[in-house]
Structure 1
Amino acid sequence: MRLKQISIGSFIVVSLLNFAIAQTKTWTFDDELCTYKGYYNSKKYTEQQLIDTYNLFRTSHYVHDKGTFEELTVRYDSVITSVENLQIVQTHYFQRLKKDVLRYLLETYALKKVQNKAKEQPESLIAAVEDAQAREYAEALYKGGNDLLEAYEHVIKEQMKNNSTPEYLWHNYEATMKHADRLDRAFDYVLVYGWWNSANDSVHHINYDGTQMQQFHKLFVKVDTLDCDEP
């Protein structure tokens, strides 16, 4: 009778071990330096969820902003839809990260649309921002003339404070001011280095400080380091 009980007990233990092994699967991924093999519980996550979660924070989500308004719209809509469709793991951290990435994209997109049409609709530059410095640049861009040229000089002088060759910046400024199309050149410069840089500071940026990869590692039962490059 006791032998039979031991046999049944052994069978249960073996069955549980086989079940656990069957649930554990592997997926290989990397960061800037190393390649890893992660062992995960397939009852908690699918491979596609891990792939999409990895792509959520390992993809820059950069959108090229040159070209027509229509081209800009197509590119941003494509990237935003791609992120929305990512089937990521159902943890609070990565669900929050996905919302943050979408917020960053949507806020950047809203500003880029205004920037793209700035020459046709300069008044929209004012309404698009709340930051005081950005609004000052927007008003100068809208008014044009001497207001714009004063803003252009201001941007140059601010850049000179942190530039290794400030004299080069000032030389370019003086050369631009001699051109007949100096207002057009000043507009383009202030739009990018004045208005955009100030407006972009208010966008909901994400700090990719390594926390994302640390949280990703926590999704696995075990992670083995397969190979690392020299730092």
Structure 2
Amino acid sequence: MRIKRISIGMFMLMSAINGALAQTKTWTFDDELCTYKGYYDNQKYTEKQLADTYNLFRTSHYVHDSGTFEELTARYDSAIHYVKDLQIVQTHYFQGLKKDVLQYLQETYALKKVQKNAKQDTKSLIMAVKEDTKARQYAEALHKGGDDLLEAYEQVIKMQMENNSTPEYLWHNYETTMKHADRLDRAFDYVLVYGWWNSANNLVHHINYDGTQMKQFQRLFIKTETLDCDEP
């Protein structure tokens, strides 16, 4: 009977050890300087969830706006679908971050579509931004054209000169542009980018990547080990 009790006890101990080992797995990831091995409970998260969560905040989600309207649309649709399809961990923080990333992409996409067709539909520049904003003022100048546009162009140049190391160079370019017969077209392109877009972009729901994302990610692990680090 004694031998039998020992055997049963040993079996229970080995089962507990095997169960603990089955629940703990490892996943390797990087930040800006180091490589880590994280130990996680696979009853809480899958490797796919960890990888997708990592990609959620380690991807810049920048979409370049070159090419045609159709190409722009295809790139943004792809980026938005990519984020929507990420199977991230079910924590309040990362679920919220996913919503923030989608909001950023959708708001930026809406503005980029308007900017791409600005010359064909100047009124859309007004409708795309809120009233009583700098972006709205630039939009109205772009829509009206003529002296209103040229005045806005001068304002943008003077504002840039305040924080530029060579303000005289900016002013020289402005004076040169004003002598050209196509100065209205040149002023339109300049105000659209450096006036309307920069101001409208400031109204977009941007995400502050300040290291909080990585700290929250590391909290998903039971423990982490530093494998290697580059020199800072």
Task: Please give the per-residue CA displacement for 1:86-118, whole angstroms capped at 9, x wherever unaligned.
Answer: 011111111110000000000000000000000
Opposite residue 58 of structure 1, the aligned amino acid is R
Q: Distance in 2 between matches of 1:81 and 1:194?
A: 30
Q: Distance in 1 between matches of 2:41 and 2:142?
A: 57
Q: Distance in 1 between matches of 2:172 and 2:2?
A: 96
Opposite residue 161 of structure 1, the aligned amino acid is E
Is the counterpart of residue 25 in structure 1 residue 25 in structure 2? yes
- Offset of residue 134 of structure 1: 0.6
Which 5+ residue runs of structure 2 have no aligned equivalent?
Answer: none
- Match of 2:37? 37
- Offset of residue 25 of structure 1: 1.0
**1:42-191 superposed matches below 5 A:** 42-130=42-130, 132-191=133-192
State the aligned residue count. Answer: 231
Q: Distance in 2 between matches of 1:140 and 1:9?
A: 83
Percent of aligned pairs with the same amino acid? 78
Q: Distance in 2 between matches of 1:159 and 1:4?
A: 86
Opposite residue 135 of structure 2, the aligned amino acid is A
Q: Distance in 2 between matches of 1:176 and 1:22?
A: 70
Q: Distance in 1 between matches of 2:190 and 2:70?
A: 23
- Offset of residue 12 of structure 1: 1.9
Q: Distance in 2 between matches of 1:72 and 1:133?
A: 26
Task: Please give the per-residue CA displacement for 1:163-198, whole angstroms capped at 9, x wherever unaligned.
Answer: 111111111111111111111111011001100111
Q: Distance in 2 between matches of 1:27 and 1:62?
A: 26
Task: Please give the per-residue CA displacement for 1:118-145, whole angstroms capped at 9, x wherever unaligned.
Answer: 0000011001001521110000000001
Task: Please give the per-residue CA displacement for 1:49-106, whole angstroms capped at 9, x wherever unaligned.
Answer: 1111000000001101111111110010010001100011111111110000000000
Opposite residue 224 of structure 2, the aligned amino acid is V
Q: Distance in 1 between matches of 2:12 and 2:186?
A: 79
- Match of 1:194? 195
- Offset of residue 14 of structure 1: 2.4
Opposite residue 129 of structure 1, the aligned amino acid is V
Q: Distance in 2 between matches of 1:2 and 1:132?
A: 84
| Partner SS state of residue 198, structure 1 | helix
- Offset of residue 7 of structure 1: 4.3
- Match of 1:212? 213
Q: Distance in 2 between matches of 1:228 and 1:73?
A: 40
- Offset of residue 18 of structure 1: 1.3
Q: Distance in 2 between matches of 1:80 and 1:138?
A: 27
Opposite residue 202 of structure 1, the aligned amino acid is L
Q: Distance in 2 between matches of 1:63 and 1:168?
A: 31
| Partner SS state of residue 87, structure 1 | coil
Q: Distance in 1 between matches of 2:228 and 2:200?
A: 42
Which 5+ residue runs of structure 1 have no aligned equivalent?
Answer: none
Moved over 6 A (4+): none
- Offset of residue 9 of structure 1: 3.3
